[in-house]
Amino acid sequence: MCGILAVLGCSDDSQAKRVRVLELSRRLKHRGPDWSGLYQHEDCYLTHQRLAIIDPASGDQPLFNEDKAIVVTVNGEIYNHEELRQLLPNHNFRTGSDCDVIAHLYEEYGENFVDMLDGMFSFVLLDTRDNSFIVARDAIGITSLYIGWGLDGSIWISSELKGLNDDCEHFECFPPGHLYSSKSGGLRQWYNPPWFSETIPSTPYDPLALRRAFENAVIKRLMTDVPFGVLLSGGLDSSLVASITARHLAGTKAAKQWGAQLHSFCVGLEGSPDLKAAKEVADYLGTVHHEFHFTVQDGIDAIEDVIYHIETYDVTTIRASTPMFLMARKIKALGVKMVISGEGSDEVFGGYLYFHKAPNKEEFHRETCRKIKALHLYDCLRANKATSAWGLEARVPFLDKEFINVAMAIDPEWKMIKPEQGHIEKWVLRRAFDDEERPYLPKHILYRQKEQFSDGVGYSWIDGLKAHAAQHVTDKMMQNAGHIFPHNTPITKEAYYYRMIFERFFPQNSARLTVPGGASIACSTAKAVEWDAAWSNNLDPSGRAALGVHLSAYDPKSATVSAEIVPPKIIDSIPRMMEVSAPGLTILS
């Protein structure tokens, strides 16, 4: 991942302003340690911190068209760039970078070219002929992006909050699947697939079509000119990614450059569920496996760095980001610059344990739609920033546009969890890769119960975090939490602890508004809370709180709400994702 920062239409074009823009851009240098670039045209500044993945030798940014009238700064990967070049026979490309197509597509198709891009991206394009500009973010929000406004009327764009929070009067998340045009003066949605309206689909389940779509999504992400690997937790999603990658790596350009044996990476506390399962999958697939251990104290010591880089105070996100943050540093130290990961599957297929309580297929489908739309605030945020903190890029094939179209067109009756029929969560995905003749995975891995990442790295990780927070947050502090933090009031000591750290780094009101909040159960959106009245009695984000569902569930007595909890004051309507109990459910294997 790269880092981009743009200041557009500012009233100051002095040398002092240029120095300030460079200073702010350096706050993003962790995202792109390979090269820095700045382009200034009149009252506009475009900066770039590069992580070189494709064409490391000549792909430095900003990028230009032939006469340098069109200037682009991009964070991301365009997987179909070679096909797009074929549509531009009259254009001369300066580099072999995948992002080089953007300026030329704009010349040919104007602002409407964005939907032609297949990949993950955030970019700012400046047309110096009339000083107009456009800003766009990928369909799901895999890449992070923020927009801000200065008192002088300037518009600021940054990959992270820290690039603009000190210099903008107001700032917010740039919405996924949207484009900002200076000509129209506002945002418009460029990504509007059939599932976005939450209409209930009726396409029959075709396991082979689903398999082909996901294999294609993984294969296109093998595009790289640098060493890469896969993140492997031993769960269904990461194991499928690893299996498909291992099958198709031979014969690719990446294999010719770096070898045909896949490298896999896992992190966990000593003896954690993920370490054991990942080792088994790695042995089965024959990967070069790298196992990283951390202690609870290692994680606690990293919390402040994690919150600074991830830019959130959401409890679940911080719990899961910390092990990933530690692992990313180890991976980068090995010389690896890109990894493929399994985020997004639970949202697309209803893989969270609370989906057991979906009352009907209509509610099931609408909830998956809501979950995908919120991914940029949670798992995409974590995967992007936890890896980018160390100059590592994460690619997520489950969020491939074409794959999502196929998966979200399936009649949701097939996705419903039906234990009496042996249909556990994500059964349609498991069944699609259940190949007797040429198995992708061992059966017990293919049908392994879901673990949240923050649980799978070791159950004592979350317990240790709670204990640490309890030492730093008093009962009196909790009693006054609603006055200190009237927006998204923390309701546990752990949440209060994270909030204090966040506010120290990002004290602006705009910053706290970028973090979601509100009623939620078991990583659900607020709407799904209505599925079971009993859910309101437990507010712990861990998957183990799914009593009667998770095979290593908490003791029911210890899952009750503690005295530290105060009534939440919900100010916004963004869904908060937390995991709590689902009484009376069982898993049949």
Residues involved in catalysis: 2
Strands 35-41 and 155-158: unpaired
Between CA 200 and CA 573 the distance in angstroms is 24
Cβ atoms within 10 Å of 381's Cβ, excluding its own? 24
Between CA 233 and CA 247 the distance in angstroms is 18
Between CA 402 and CA 398 the distance in angstroms is 10
Between CA 171 and CA 147 the distance in angstroms is 6
Q: How far is CA 540 from CA 522, 575, 579, in A?
A: 8, 16, 6
* Burial of residue 293 (number of CB atoms within 10 Å: 0-12, 13-18, 19+): middle
Between CA 218 and CA 55 the distance in angstroms is 20
On whether the CB atoms of residues 425 and 68 are closer than 8 A, the answer is no
On whether the CB atoms of residues 454 and 462 are closer than 8 A, the answer is yes
What's the distance, Cα to Cα, between the start and end of the chain in Å?
40
Question: SS3 of 500, please?
Answer: helix
On whether the CB atoms of residues 374 and 577 are closer than 8 A, the answer is yes
**75 Cα distance to chain centroid:** 14
Strands 35-41 and 44-50: antiparallel
What crossing angle do the helices spanning 236-248 and 207-220 adopt, rounded to 10°? 70
Between CA 362 and CA 319 the distance in angstroms is 31
**Torsion of Cα atoms, 244 then 245 then 249 then 254, to 10°:** 150
Between CA 429 and CA 258 the distance in angstroms is 31
